[in-house]
Amino acid sequence: MPDFNGLPLHPLVVHAVVVLLPLAVLGAAALAIRPALADRFGALIVGVAVLATVAIPIATSSGEDLEHRVGDPGAHAELGDTLIWFALPLLAVIVAMVWARLRAGARRSATGPVGRGATGVALSVLALVIAAANLVQVYRVGDSGARAVWDRTPAASTRGPGR
C-alpha cells in the first residue's frame, strides 16, 4: 500500500482533487463570464484543470489500495470512479474556451475587434453547466467518503479520555 511519511496516500491525494477541481470550476466560470480573462489567465486555468484531472486517477487508485487495507467504503468507491467523467469534459471546455479566445485574438489583431459570437456563448453556457455538475459530484464523492470514514468510527473513540 503506497503511503507518504506513514500516512496512506489516498487522503493526501484526495485533498489535491478537492482543492484543484473546484479551482478549475471557478476558472471555467470566470472564463465563461469574462472571456478576456483567457488572455491573461488561460494557461493557468488550463494547468489547474490538467492537474485536477491527473490527480483523480491517482486518488481512485490509491483509494482502491486503501480499500484492501480497511474495507469497502460503500458508495464512495463507485462515486469516486465517476469523477473523472465529470473532470474530462470540464478540461475540454476550458481548453476550447481558451483556444477560441486565442483564435479570436489573432483575428482581432488582423481585422479589428471581434464580437463574442454564437460559439462563444454556447461554450460559456456549456462551461457553466459542466462546472456546476463538477461541483455537485465533488460534493457527493467527498460526502460519501467522509461518511465511509466517520460513520464507522465508534462514538466512544471520538470522545477522548474521561468523557
Q: What is the pLDDT of residues 43-58, one digit of tens each?
A: 999 999 999 999 999 9
| Residue 141 pLDDT | 96
Amino acid at 14: V
Output the CA torsion 97→102→103→108 (10° steps). 120
Query: What pLDDT is attached to residue 106?
Result: 58
Amino acid (1-letter code) at residue 49:
A
Q: What confidence score (pLDDT) does residue 104 get?
A: 81
What is the pTM assigned to this prediction?
Answer: 0.84
CA–CA dist 63, 69 (Å, integer): 10
Residues in the chain where the model's pLDDT stays below 50: 109-114, 154-160, 162-163
